[in-house]
Structure 1
Amino acid sequence: MSQSKPELIETLRVDADGQIPLLELHLERVARSCAELGYDWDAQTWLQAMHTALGQAPINTPLRLRILWNAKASAKAEAQALPALEGPLQLCLSKTPLPAQDPLLSHKTTHRPWYQDAAALLEKHPQLFDVIFLDTQNRVCEGSRSNIYIQDEQGHWWTPPAQGWLLPGVQRQALLNSGLARETELFLDDLLHARAIRVSNALRGWQNALLVQNPV
């Protein structure tokens, strides 16, 4: 890592009634990243930034709350209205694989160069929700903004294991904790022949999705 350490990102959904359903899992993840990356951590400072941003945000509407945390225990937060999203969500495949075992893959930080092309593609084609990445062995990894799940013929939902090469999303963790999803290695062929596909993130929950042709 460079001398200038990237900031840690947490993006939270705030419901219209002000509740933050996955707050504890967000706190656990950012604290874990701080411990693993050697960042200073203070939960009260993080929460104070969150409450300050919410105090300036619209009320009685779902919100997207983004909190940045730096290595010196300073936080910045902003909240804005979260527009509704109609499903099923459209996905396409990345043309480039994720880098092998980058130490920051499993942390949500402002250093995510492997997703720059995906971000540009999604901005150009707003009908797409996400770009799904494989590794060099054609294993399914994750989307640039979501975790991915496939349903087998028995109706079980499976998601790739978090083994240092994908971001362990908080909505993903909630689904694993509840038993609604399980971990296993998934390959491109599994994705192409899945009975059904879903994606998840903290903002949008667990949503039905479909794989479409890459836009030209």
Structure 2
Amino acid sequence: MIVWLNGALLPVDEACIAPSDRGFTLGDGLFETMRAEAGTVLRRDRHLARLRSGAAVLGIPVPLDDAGLAGALTAVLTANDLAQAPAAVLRLELTRGPAPGGLAPPAEPSPTLLVTTRAAPAAAPAPVRLVTARGTRRNEHSPLSRIKHLGYGDMILAHREASGSGADDAIVLNTAGHVAETTISNVFLEVDGAWVTPPVTDGALPGTRRAALLDAGVAAEATVTLAMLARARRAVLSNANGLRPVASIDGRCLSLEEVPAPWR
């Protein structure tokens, strides 16, 4: 693998990040996961806008303009012979960079910017089995719930809980007991004949594909209670890599009827 690190293309085993980098020591950073098809990064402008919004929340300067970031994405695809691939996955990671110990950020940070890529799986993902996580909640009141923050500890715990129960992923509730999202995806549910998805104010990450689906009018934002979750006829998960149908929630089977064309 060839990676792009702070302006240079390097073999992955030659790419070095300082042990004092705050992304490593404190999770002080954010990331974007993107899908490229034949070299075109899908919803690239939405991803870069969300990156800048998250960087503003954390107070981390973005070292490149959008043209520079787009060039880095293209460069790493080309270097890994994925510029013409049917599908590839990109990850762009930004941290505050190296710093002395302690929580106080350096007055003049030297951000670390890393871009990696890999081929996307050729086969369509199988329908997912979900359980509702009981051991952790999503804090919808935190500004970090609205950005792709590196601190994924709660989601890791929820995913472990799902795996331990034989499921593929977990639905994570917010502090009020309403549905927020799964550990890696936004949730769309067909309830009482209408498609809904939790609002950002309930802890849903403002996903780029989620935004595109809302713009297309296929669903509306609404607080999703446990009672609504229990009534859902169908469910679909969305993230940058695509859509995935839900086979079951907490052991209850859902319809796998294909979603209509506007979803595609």
- Residues 116-131 of structure 1: matches in 2 within 5 Å? 116-121=156-161, 128=168, 130-131=169-170
| CA deviation profile, 1:31-87 (whole Å, cap 9, x unmatched) | 111222222123344323312221222432311111101234441011111112333
Amino acid at match of 1:57: N
User: Does the 8 A contact of 2:88 with 2:118 survive in 1?
Assistant: yes
| CA deviation profile, 1:78-110 (whole Å, cap 9, x unmatched) | 111111233322222111222352331111121
Change (3 A) 1:75 1:48: farther
Amino acid at match of 2:36: V
Amino acid at match of 1:53: V
Q: Is the partner of 1:101 in helix, strand or coil? A: coil
Q: Which residue is 1:19 aligned to?
A: 40
Q: Is the partner of 1:105 in helix, strand or coil? A: helix
Determine the C-alpha separation between the residues in 2 that align with 1:44 and 1:195. 43
Amino acid at match of 1:82: A
Determine the C-alpha separation between the residues in 2 that align with 1:70 and 1:53. 19
| CA deviation profile, 1:159-201 (whole Å, cap 9, x unmatched) | 0110273311111011111111210111111111112111100
Which shifted more, 64-73 or 179-188? 64-73
Shift of 1:114: 1.1
| CA deviation profile, 1:131-182 (whole Å, cap 9, x unmatched) | 110123220101110000111333x210011027331111101111111121
Q: Which residue is 2:198 aligned to?
A: 160
Change (3 A) 1:12 1:160: same
Q: Is the partner of 1:108 in helix, strand or coil? A: coil
Amino acid at match of 1:116: I
The structure 1 residue matched to 2:247, chosen from 198, 202, 210, is 210
Q: Which residue is 1:28 aligned to?
A: 49
Change (3 A) 1:5 1:207: closer
Determine the C-alpha separation between the residues in 2 that align with 1:14 and 1:122. 29
Which shifted more, 178-187 or 91-100? 91-100
Q: Which residue is 1:6 aligned to?
A: 28
Determine the C-alpha separation between the residues in 2 that align with 1:127 and 1:5. 28
Q: Percent identity?
A: 25
TM-score w.r.t. the length of structure 2 is 0.71
Change (3 A) 1:198 1:192: same
- Residues 130-149 of structure 1: matches in 2 within 5 Å? 130-149=169-188
Q: Which residue is 1:101 aligned to?
A: 141
User: Does the 8 A contact of 1:147 with 1:200 survive in 2?
Assistant: yes
Query: Which has the bigger relative contact order, CA under 8 A and spacing at least 6?
Result: 1
User: Does the 8 A contact of 2:188 with 2:195 survive in 1?
Assistant: yes
What CA RMSD, in Å, does the superposition of the two structures yield over aligned residues? 2.6
Change (3 A) 1:7 1:49: farther
TM-score w.r.t. the length of structure 1 is 0.85
Give the structure with higher Rg (CA): 2
Change (3 A) 1:123 1:82: farther
Q: Which residue is 2:86 aligned to?
A: 61
Amino acid at match of 1:210: A
- Residues 31-50 of structure 1: matches in 2 within 5 Å? 31-41=52-62, 42=64, 43-50=66-73
